[in-house]
Amino acid sequence: MKIKNLEEKATYITILSHDLKIPTIAQIRALELLINGQFGELSKEQKEILRLILESCKGLYKVILTLLITCNLEDEIINQSS
């Protein structure tokens, strides 16, 4: 797929980011439920592994939000210069 201009690029990245954001939020919520014992008790080791995965998912979520914010700002700049 070849992207022709900045507007198309911004739209593509926004859609891609949105598509990544939804499953990442679901993973975060599921991990929180597991860690909090909603599906049964876990050992300390299991909780620690899940906490590490949770922190990784939260980091990914922050990257996705940063990407969306950046694209929205670029979009505003493009629209103002048109």
pLDDT at residue 14, as a whole number? 79
pLDDT digits (tens, 9 = 90+) for 3-54: 567 777 777 887 888 899 999 999 999 999 999 999 999 999 999 999 999 9
Do residues 50 and 35 touch, judged by C-beta distance below 8 A?
Answer: yes
Length of the chain, in residues: 82
The domain limits of the chain are 6-81
Do residues 17 and 71 touch, judged by C-beta distance below 8 A?
Answer: yes
Predicted structure pTM score = 0.77
The Cα–Cα gap between 33 and 37 comes to: 6
Confidence of residue 75 (pLDDT cuts 50, 70, 90): low
The Cα–Cα gap between 16 and 66 comes to: 13
Residue type, 11: T
